[in-house]
């Protein structure tokens, strides 16, 4: 039986792609919970070379006009401790690209984005859990989080004319029912602001967390590995 050159080439590409995917999965070391965690810059770079969407980019440089208020770089957060040594916000390229589209859409309305948090090194999640071991408020390190994968973002909307955040149901990291997406609100303006943020984020492939109006993650979060690279190593 004659086999065409096209079939042979297709088969070789398939084999190489399969080997590449298997090799990538195997090189990521397992932590004490049996989770694969990228914990070295060299490994992170290898993955990013193989797939540019794995790149962690600084959103301040990637998204024009975006604002940030990194609470975990201060003690003004639910742990009352400074957890980040840097106020930089990083996201995987795919998430940053989607967020850039959100920013552009909001700009048409005289609005913009204010970021509270993006990529979070896995060890910070462990520290949070030590301080507040409650999965209603902190991610369990036995599972990791979308933040550790670089595709979750905490954010709100700002009015570009005043420079101030629009009114939302609660402050960031408020762990009451008022922060839930389905919490009934009497203020129609606040309700509209919460809905607007959800609509523009969902249009670009983000999924909301039911209990936190500010938290969104890409639908395909599991495509991106848990990562434990310090901010200063990403510069």
Phi and psi, residue 186, nearest 5°: -90, -20
Q: Are 90 and 118 in contact (CB under 8 A)?
A: yes
Q: How many CB atoms lie within 10 A of CB 100?
A: 18
The residue among 94, 154, 96 whose CA lies nearest residue 120 is: 154
Residue with tokens 């909307």: 157
The residue among 147, 132, 138 whose CA lies nearest residue 91 is: 147
Phi and psi, residue 207, nearest 5°: -115, 135
Q: H or E stretch including 58?
A: strand 56-58
> Which of 69, 212, 232, 233 is the catalytic position?
212
CA 67 vs. chain centroid, Å, equals 16
Q: Coil, strand, or helix at residue 152? A: strand
Q: How far apart are CA 142 and CA 120, in angstroms?
A: 15
Q: Is 126 labeled as catalytic in the residue annotation?
A: no
Residue 197 DSSP code: H
Any idea which residues carry the catalytic annotation? 212
């Amino acid at each position: 039986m004659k086999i065409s050159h096209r079939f042979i080439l297709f088969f070789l590409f398939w084999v190489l792609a399969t080997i590449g995917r298997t090799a990538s999965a195997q090189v990521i070391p397992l932590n004490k919970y049996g989770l694969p965690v990228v914990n070295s810059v060299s490994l992170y770079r290898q993955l990013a070379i193989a797939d540019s969407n794995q790149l962690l980019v600084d959103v301040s440089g990637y998204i024009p006009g975006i604002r940030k208020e990194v609470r975990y770089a201060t003690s003004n957060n639910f742990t009352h401790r400074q957890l980040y040594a840097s106020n930089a916000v990083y996201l995987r390229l795919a998430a940053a690209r989607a967020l850039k589209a959100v920013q552009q859409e909001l700009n048409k309305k005289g609005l913009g984005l204010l970021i509270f948090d993006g990529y979070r090194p896995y060890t910070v999640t462990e520290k949070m859990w030590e301080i507040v071991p409650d999965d209603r408020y902190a991610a369990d390190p036995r599972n990791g989080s979308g933040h550790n994968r670089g595709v979750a973002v905490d954010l709100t909307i700002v009015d570009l004319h005043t420079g101030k955040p629009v009114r939302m149901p609660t402050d960031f990291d408020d762990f009451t029912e008022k922060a839930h997406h389905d919490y009934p609100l009497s203020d129609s303006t606040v309700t509209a602001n919460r809905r607007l943020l959800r609509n523009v984020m969902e249009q670009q492939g983000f999924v909301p967390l039911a209990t936190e109006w500010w938290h969104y993650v890409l639908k395909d979060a599991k495509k991106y590995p848990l990562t434990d690279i310090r901010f200063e190593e990403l510069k």
